[in-house]
Structure formats: C-alpha cells, structure tokens
Amino acid sequence: MARLNEQVEALLQEYADLLSITGGDAYRARAYEKAARSVGGHPADLAGLDAKELREIPNVGKSIADKIDEYRNTGSIQAVEALRAQVPTGVRQIMAIPTVGPKKAGALYRDLRITSPEELREAIGAERLNDVPGFGERTAENILHGLDLLRRTGGRVRLDVATATAAEITAVLGAVPGCVRCEPAGSLRRFRETVGDLDILAAAEDSDPLMAAFTALPDAADVLVHGTTKTSIRTTAGLQVDLRVVPPEDWGAALLYFTGSKAHNVRLRTMAVKAGLKLSEYGLFEVGSGARIASRTEQEVYAALGLPWIPPTLREDRGEIQAARRGELPDLVEEADLRGDLHTHTDLTDGVASLEEMLDAAAARGYAYYAVTDHAPNLAMQRMTEEKMLAQRSRLRELGPSHRGMRLLHGTELNIDPDGGVDWPADVLAGFDLCVASVHSHFRAGRAAQTRRLVRACENPHVHVIGHPTTRLLGRRGGLDVDLDTVFRACARTGTALEINSAPERLDLGDEAVARAKRHGVRFAIDSDAHSTLQLDNQRYGIGTAQRGWLGGDDVINSWPWSRLRRFLHDR
C-alpha cells in the first residue's frame, strides 16, 4: 500500500475531478485540488496526526480534515463513493487524454455514454462526435493524437510508482523466514523511465513461504500465475508483478538474467558460446562437461566472461560490453556525488513548502550549495513580481551566504518566450546568482522556430541552465519538435548546461539525448525541480537517467565543488 498521504492525495484529486465532470462549483473543485497537493507534499505521515494537526496542513479545513479522518477509520470516503456511483471510472481515464478535460469528458459521457478511451476511439471512427455540440473535426483529430500518445506508454507506470511498489513488496518478502535476499530486477533496476512489468527476485531454499506471502499481499488483486519458481500478480493499481525465487547459489546468474536488458543478455550469451560456455538464469556452464563455472554473484559471472561488473543502468547493448572489454567503462555519477540542487521551488510560487522548510530539508541531505529558483512573472498564474522576488532574496541574504553548511544561491526559473527571450531586463537578471530558463508555452511551433528559440536562450549571457529542455511529460505530452543537435552545439559553444529534470513525470532530457549531448561536449545539471521537501529525493531518478546517458561526475555541474561551480556561473 502506498503511503497514506499519497492515498489521500489521490482520493482528493479524484473527488476534485468528479466534481468538475459533474459540473460542481469550480472553486470547490479547486479547493480539493489544492488540498490534494498539500497533503501529498506534507512531510509528516497523516497516520500519526491528530485532528488539530490535520487542520494545520495548508488548504485543509474542517470538511477535508473530517474526510481524511473518515478514510483513516473506514478505508473510504462516503462523498467520494457517492460521486463514483454517478460517474463510471472510465470517464476519468478519458480526462487523462491530452486536450480532453472535465467538460469534454462529461459531455462525451452525457451525450454518447462513452466510458472508456476505446469507446471514444470507436465513436470518432464512426463520426459520432459530430452530434455533440462543441465537437468539430479538429477536436476529433486532437483527441486521436492524444489517444496515440497515451497508447505509446499505455500500461507502463512511472519510475516512482514502480519504485514505491517494489519497496513495499521487497520489504514484506524480505521478512519472510528463509528469504536470503530479495531485490527488484528488470527495467526498474536499470532505471528505465517507465516500467511495464515489475520483476522481483528472491533467493531461498524453499520458495513456498515466499510465494504464499506474495499472493497474500494486500495489494494483490489477481493471481495470474502461481508456481514454485515464478508467480505473477496484478496489483490493485493494475501493475503486473512477477516474483521469481531461486536457490541462493544461483542468485548472481538469475539477477543478471532478470535484470536484462534482453539485448544485453543476448550479447553476453553470444560471448559465452564463443568461449565454449552456456549462460542461463541458472549460471554459466561448460558446454562439454556441464560443470558450473559461476552463478553466485553477478561479479563472478561477468568475471568468468572476462568482464568487469557492468552497472545495470548501462545494460542496454549500447556499447557497454565492448567498453567493458576494453576496460573503458565510464566512472558513473552517483547520488552521493551530488553537492547541491540548482532548480527548486517554494510556496512563493507553486511549491507547497516554505523557504525555510525547503532549506532545512536540503541541508539534511548534506548539500554544499542550494539554489531557490521560483517562477518568473511571465508565467502569469504564479503572480510573481519583482517586489516578491527581491523580498525573497533579502530573506535568503539574511540567512547569510552560508546556512547550515550550505551556500545559498538566489535563482529563478525564467520562461523562454516564442522568440527565445526571457522575463525581466538584463539588469534584473544580473542580480541572480543562477538562472534556469525553461519553455512553458507555445509547444506547437515548428521545428525551425523551436530550435531558434532554444538556441537564443542558450546565447543569453544570463542563462546558466536550460530547464526540462524538451518539456515532454511521460505519457501525456511528447517533446518539442526541435533539432536537438543544433541546441547541443549551442550549449557547448556558449557554456550553457542542460538540465536532467529528475521529476519522474519528466526525466527530461531523456537518457539517449543525454548521451548524444555529452558527445557534443555539453555539461548537465541534475535537478529535482522540487515543489515539496519530499520531492528533493527525486534526484535518484535523475541520477539513473544520467547514468543511462553514461555521465560521470565531471559532466555534472552540481557534483562539482563550489569553487568550480562558482567559476562556471561567473564565466557564463
């Protein structure tokens, strides 16, 4: 089960959606959305809060506190159940289609009784949408495009969701008597940006107790396969999880096999065959005698093939085996290498935590420096002004150049306009220690225009980092149509860093683009883009992406000591 805060966040968000679909008071729906965000980003676990403490959470008043309490006591909220009875669950899935919001989803349900993305696709094919007021030809086209986008990542879940599920399962199984080891494998261990099926590997002499505990998990909605070596369940959230149990002496070979990727394994097996060996999930064997050569650890298996251990994030058959053979594997950047975070928000704009709360949480991570980069005025909804920005800077300066061992940087996240310009005149920009510049609008301009736009932003002497460079949202929005190689050249030429945004819904730049940018000589900033104290921990996903792009510490400006980063910021 997910943390109580996340469960309540999801329920409140669902209630807000259902209110919007049924045409309830928009401000009321908004109130639930705000409360959902606050609860999700609240550092204390709801399970341990009393009634008074619940109401101290921002945007939670009496009504919502009562609903949270009701959920804690009964496992459901009557008001939510009542609306669920009015609106089939598929209607919310339709809302997940880009360009379809609560009003369109509601109209499609009311007028055509459409309750799933599949039905919607059929209805468009049969030209039935023409009968609904406000739905024209272009609307149908946009919906089809959105459906395709959704289908491309269909069934795959975000890395943070898979990570949380895996952590819960391995914690339960690891405590089962007889369990020697239990760890996630598969694409999650490789930090792919989304996960299809979750693979969990356990080592034990007797698999029965583990399989029994696995199928008895509270999250197990269905048991798909039940055997002695492999059992598969589908969770209540719809994620398929495969558990494989192997004897402890086979652990290394099995972990290697089930971590993949398939292409990496195929290449390893080919190497084995050429050496007169056979590699399987049970070990590395001599073909003639059948004698087992290695299986206990991954290191043993790789070593028997004449290779050093290869980090899982590199196992995509993108040249890692050749590099390993030459002894030229990169010295990958690790989470412990990060000395700071250069893109974060506070409640001055759309964060849910105060400046002081964010600084405390960052200091607890042991950072040597930390940048506060709230939104700039052109993102109008944030209502930023020069006065508010300067007041924040004063508060930051009062805390001193260094606070709890952290050097404090006052930055901003600028908006790159369609021509490549940014908020604020040059003299105001010069007052910042650090400027991140990101695209937040005009996503549909053509390739030449988008490329020119990003290149111009790189050429701005006040811009240090381009934030979430493609602006993609996994499963919801493709990236900008842009000639990335031209942008990479501009970054290398101007000394502008590209961000690896660690938010699990972004992971932008993605791994392959990172590898390409590195070949152009680009530097990177791995940033959380945190909007709450908890999201500072998202850096692990950005690190995974950086590793998949073969980055070492030298490539990542926020792994550098302050003296070197300061020079980088100044020389810009």
Q: Is 479 helix (H, G, I), strand (E, B) or coil?
A: coil
Report the residue number, 64 or 517, with the smaller CB distance to DNA. 64
Report the residue number, 103 or 519, with the smaller CB distance to DNA. 103
Cα angle 47, 50, 54; round to 5: 85
Minimum distance from residue 14 beta carbon to DNA (Å): 14
Report the residue number, 1 or 26, with the smaller CB distance to DNA. 26
Torsion angle of alpha carbons 506, 510, 511, 514, nearest 10°? -130
Backbone φ/ψ region at 366: left (φ over 0), alpha (ψ -120 to 50), beta: left
Q: Report the length, in residues, of the chain.
A: 572
From 303, 308, 309, 402, select the one nearest 362 (Cα to Cα). Answer: 402
| Pairing outcome for strands 434-438 and 465-466 | parallel
Report the residue number, 137 or 222, with the smaller CB distance to DNA. 137
Minimum distance from residue 23 beta carbon to DNA (Å): 8
d(CA 345, CA 538): 14
What is the CA 412 to chain-centroid distance, rounded?
Answer: 22
Minimum distance from residue 458 beta carbon to DNA (Å): 20
Report the residue number, 291 or 380, with the smaller CB distance to DNA. 380
Report the residue number, 101 or 311, with the smaller CB distance to DNA. 101
Minimum distance from residue 467 beta carbon to DNA (Å): 11
Report the residue number, 62 or 519, with the smaller CB distance to DNA. 62
Minimum distance from residue 101 beta carbon to DNA (Å): 2
Report the residue number, 316 or 374, with the smaller CB distance to DNA. 374
Minimum distance from residue 79 beta carbon to DNA (Å): 7
Minimum distance from residue 410 beta carbon to DNA (Å): 22
Minimum distance from residue 541 beta carbon to DNA (Å): 19
Minimum distance from residue 147 beta carbon to DNA (Å): 12
Report the residue number, 325 or 477, with the smaller CB distance to DNA. 477
422: burial class by Cβ within 10 Å (0-12, 13-18, 19+)?
Answer: buried
The residues, ordered by sequence, that sit 6+ positions from 179 with a Cβ below 8 Å of its Cβ are 173, 202, 203, 204, 209, 210
Report the residue number, 102 or 351, with the smaller CB distance to DNA. 102
From 104, 105, 96, select the one nearest 149 (Cα to Cα). Answer: 96
d(CA 34, CA 37): 5
From 519, 479, 521, select the one nearest 501 (Cα to Cα). Answer: 479
d(CA 560, CA 556): 7
DSSP character string of 308-326: ----GGGTTTSSHHHHHHT
Minimum distance from residue 568 beta carbon to DNA (Å): 27
Minimum distance from residue 463 beta carbon to DNA (Å): 17
- Contact indicator for 146, 100 with CB cutoff of 8 Å: yes
Minimum distance from residue 275 beta carbon to DNA (Å): 51
The dihedral through the CA atoms of 436, 441, 443, 444 has a sign that is negative
By CB under 7 A, name the binding residues for DNA. 25, 27-28, 30-32, 35, 55, 58-65, 98-105, 133-140, 142, 350, 379-383, 440-442, 444, 473, 476-477
Minimum distance from residue 73 beta carbon to DNA (Å): 17
- Distances 395 to 82, 392, 405 between C-alpha atoms, Å: 47, 5, 17
d(CA 426, CA 499): 22
Report how far apart the first and last C-alpha atoms of the chain are (Å, whole number).
47
d(CA 242, CA 103): 39
Report the residue number, 170 or 382, with the smaller CB distance to DNA. 382
Report the residue number, 124 or 243, with the smaller CB distance to DNA. 124
- Distances 129 to 8, 98, 101, 113, 125 between C-alpha atoms, Å: 35, 17, 16, 12, 9
Minimum distance from residue 484 beta carbon to DNA (Å): 20
Report the residue number, 303 or 473, with the smaller CB distance to DNA. 473
d(CA 34, CA 58): 9
From 352, 357, 398, 355, select the one nearest 373 (Cα to Cα). Answer: 355
Is the previous residue joined to 261 through a cis bond, with omega within 30 degrees of 0?
Answer: yes
Report the residue number, 54 or 556, with the smaller CB distance to DNA. 54
Q: Report which residue type is found at 151.
A: R
